[in-house]
Amino acid sequence: MIAVEEAIDLVLKNSFPLEKTEILPINQCLNRNLAKAVKAPIDLPSFRLSSMDGYALCLHHSNSYSIVDEVKAGDAVNPSLKLGECVRIFTGGVVPDSADAVIVQEKTIRKQNLLTIKTLVKKGQNIRLIGSQVQKGDFPLEKGQVLQASGLAFLKSLGIGEVEVVRSPKVTIIITGNELIPSSELLTRGKIYESNSILLQAALQQQEIETQLVSFAEDTLKATINALEKAFFNSDVVLVSGGISVGDYDFVKQALEELEVKEIFYKVRQRPGKPLFFGKKDQGFVFALPGNPASTLSCFYVYVLPLLTRLKGGKSNGLIRVSIPIAHDFSSDEPRALFLKATIQNKTVSILDGQHSSMLVSFAKANALVYIPEQGVFLKKGSLVETLLLPNTILT
Ligand code: AMP
Ligand code: MG
């Protein structure tokens, strides 16, 4: 059994960007990582443009100008100005080659075609220069950059329609457990509604990763081996739910051994999620996640997410960690490290009731996980605790 930090380290040490890349239209690249640095095909902006609504001036030594023309955004005109002449111009309009500066309309007085300016004007003022954001031939985004809404829009603003990104990992989910039934069936004695398939699929979806396949395996060695074999055949990552503990009907460990999966670690000194397994088969990875739903999700966030992020070509280590004051006293004499469902509110974190690994109710309300290192603690209200922000949690 190893410590949480060691286990996370082993995940990170074993994960590299997938070698395969694909060229995709920009609108399919959200959350993808660039496989190569992107070269700017144009200057940005590609012409001198006005950043304000006002007047483009051909400067001279008086504060009076005659207005001779107009340039709206999108116009291709290039009026030729003499000293003391100006054009009405709007934000985004091309500044005529003969103009030296743009003055905002609020700082002028206009009487018909005569303009009086009320302040000093500096050469180049309110003009965005060609290439001032990015120059043609530059590499503004590096290999590995994750593409968010802003990144996609930036590429579009360069006129780029498609881009080479690291292929998204192919993930297969295997659900084990004879007691599990779908919510469409009537609950009968001994059965429970299956929930880990949607749990994992949704958590993957949040990372823009589509699940290749969800398969269900009975609690037998043969069924477990079959499901694993199929999964390894066409996935980069296999996530197994349940069956990895030491019960007589837990066959996942044995099946992994029979398939000669290389064990990277098995069992972590943590709660929830002690019997977590991480291994490798050829180029593929497998996580066997303990089946109690809160364990499954906790292990997903702490261990699976960093692996997926790295496979996608990203550099982050998974959930963002912050140090934040706890809103109440807290003590624990648990020797294992704890990941506790919690909520952050008003810049403090509160640990929720209902921490058992079978309980999703607290997880459903949580926006963070408090991490308590091994060996127990006694924390006074206001002490700082290491806290992992669940996806979409923003500290305000
Ligand atoms: P296991 O890890 O297979 O020993 O399962 C531990 C506990 O989690 C058992 O009470 C299972 O019934 C429950 N469990 C396992 N898999 C699922 C699942 N897919 N959905 C809901 N509960 C599950
Ligand atoms: Mg089971």
Residue 375 pLDDT greater than 90, yes or no: no
- Which neighbouring-strand residues pair with 101? 57
Phi, psi (5° rounding) for residue 302? -80, -35
Residue 137 pLDDT greater than 80, yes or no: yes
b/e sequence 137-150, b meaning 16+ C-beta within 10 Å: eeebbeebbbbeee
Per-residue model confidence as pLDDT tens digits over 284-298: 999 999 999 999 999
Pocket perturbation via mutation, ligand 1, pick of 276, 289, 292 by most ligand atoms within 8 A of CB = 292
Pocket perturbation via mutation, ligand 1, pick of 181, 216, 241, 289 by most ligand atoms within 8 A of CB = 241
Q: How confident is the model at residue 82 (pLDDT cuts 50, 70, 90)?
A: very high
Q: How confident is the model at residue 317 (pLDDT cuts 50, 70, 90)?
A: confident
Within the chain, where are the H helices?
4-13, 149-157, 196-205, 221-233, 252-258, 293-299, 305-311, 361-365
Pocket perturbation via mutation, ligand 1, pick of 192, 218, 356 by most ligand atoms within 8 A of CB = 192
Give me the pLDDT at residue 385, please. Answer: 97
Calculate mean pLDDT across residues 145-153.
96
Phi, psi (5° rounding) for residue 38? -95, 130
- Residue 290 Cβ < 6 Å to ligand 1: yes
Give me the pLDDT at residue 218, please. Answer: 97
Spatial neighbors of 120 by CB under 8 A, at least 6 apart, are none
Calculate mean pLDDT across residues 321-330.
97
Q: Give, using CA atoms, the residue closest to atom 3 of ligand 1.
A: 242
Label each residue of 180-244 as H, E or C: EECCCCCCCCCCEECCHHHHHHHHHHCCCCCEEEEEEECCCHHHHHHHHHHHHHCCCEEEEECCC
Ligand nearest to the CA of residue 192, numbered in listed order: 1
Per-residue model confidence as pLDDT tens digits over 182-213: 999 999 999 999 999 999 999 999 988 989 99
Instruction: State which ligand 1 atom lies nearest to the alpha carbon of 196.
Output: 19
Per-residue model confidence as pLDDT tens digits over 247-287: 999 999 999 999 999 999 999 999 999 999 999 999 999 99
Phi, psi (5° rounding) for residue 308? -60, -40
Give me the pLDDT at residue 266, please. Answer: 98
Residue 142 pLDDT greater than 90, yes or no: yes
Measured from the Cβ of residue 306, the count of other Cβ atoms closer than 10 Å reads 19
Give me the pLDDT at residue 395, please. Answer: 82
pTM of the complete model: 0.88
Residue with tokens 């965005």: 128
Give me the pLDDT at residue 44, please. Answer: 98
Return the C-alpha torsion angle 158, 163, 164, 168, nearest 10.
130
- Residue 37 Cβ < 6 Å to ligand 1: no
CA distance 178 to 12: 34
* Cα of 358 vs its chain's centroid, Å: 28
The 3-state DSSP composition of the chain as helix, strand, coil percent (nearest 5) reads 20, 35, 45
- Residue 242 Cβ < 6 Å to ligand 1: yes
Q: How confident is the model at residue 392 (pLDDT cuts 50, 70, 90)?
A: confident
Calculate mean pLDDT across residues 33-50.
97
- Residue 105 Cβ < 6 Å to ligand 1: no
Phi, psi (5° rounding) for residue 208? 60, 35
Return the C-alpha torsion angle 51, 57, 60, 62, nearest 10.
-90
Give me the pLDDT at residue 65, please. Answer: 98
Calculate mean pLDDT across residues 376-396.
92
Calculate mean pLDDT across residues 1-15.
97
Residue 107 pLDDT greater than 90, yes or no: yes
Per-residue model confidence as pLDDT tens digits over 338-349: 999 999 999 999
- Residue 79 Cβ < 6 Å to ligand 1: no
- Residue 295 Cβ < 6 Å to ligand 1: no
Residue 396 pLDDT greater than 90, yes or no: no
- Residue 195 Cβ < 6 Å to ligand 1: yes
Q: Give, using CA atoms, the residue closest to atom 14 of ligand 1.
A: 291
Ligand nearest to the CA of residue 220, numbered in listed order: 2
Calculate mean pLDDT across residues 129-149.
97
Spatial neighbors of 191 by CB under 8 A, at least 6 apart, are 179, 180, 181, 185
Calculate mean pLDDT across residues 81-97.
98
Q: Give, using CA atoms, the residue closest to atom 8 of ligand 1.
A: 292
Q: What is the mean pLDDT of the chain?
A: 96
Share of the chain above pLDDT 90, in %: 95
Is residue 326 within 8 Å of 382, Cβ to Cβ? yes
Calculate mean pLDDT across residues 132-145.
97
b/e sequence 75-100, b meaning 16+ C-beta within 10 Å: eeeebebeeebbbbbbebbbbbebbb
Q: Give, using CA atoms, the residue closest to atom 17 of ligand 1.
A: 291
Phi, psi (5° rounding) for residue 255? -65, -40
Measured from the Cβ of residue 61, the count of other Cβ atoms closer than 10 Å reads 6
Paired tokens of 179? 């007691």
Nearest-Å Rg of the Cα atoms of the chain is: 30
Residue with tokens 């037998």: 220
Calculate mean pLDDT across residues 161-176.
97
Q: How confident is the model at residue 315 (pLDDT cuts 50, 70, 90)?
A: confident
Residue 63 pLDDT greater than 90, yes or no: yes
Distance 309 CA to ligand 1 centre (A): 26
Residue 77 pLDDT greater than 90, yes or no: yes
- Residue 329 Cβ < 6 Å to ligand 1: no
Ligand nearest to the CA of residue 196, numbered in listed order: 1
Residue 169 pLDDT greater than 90, yes or no: yes
- Residue 194 Cβ < 6 Å to ligand 1: yes
Distance 250 CA to ligand 2 centre (A): 6
Return the C-alpha torsion angle 257, 258, 261, 265, nearest 10.
-10
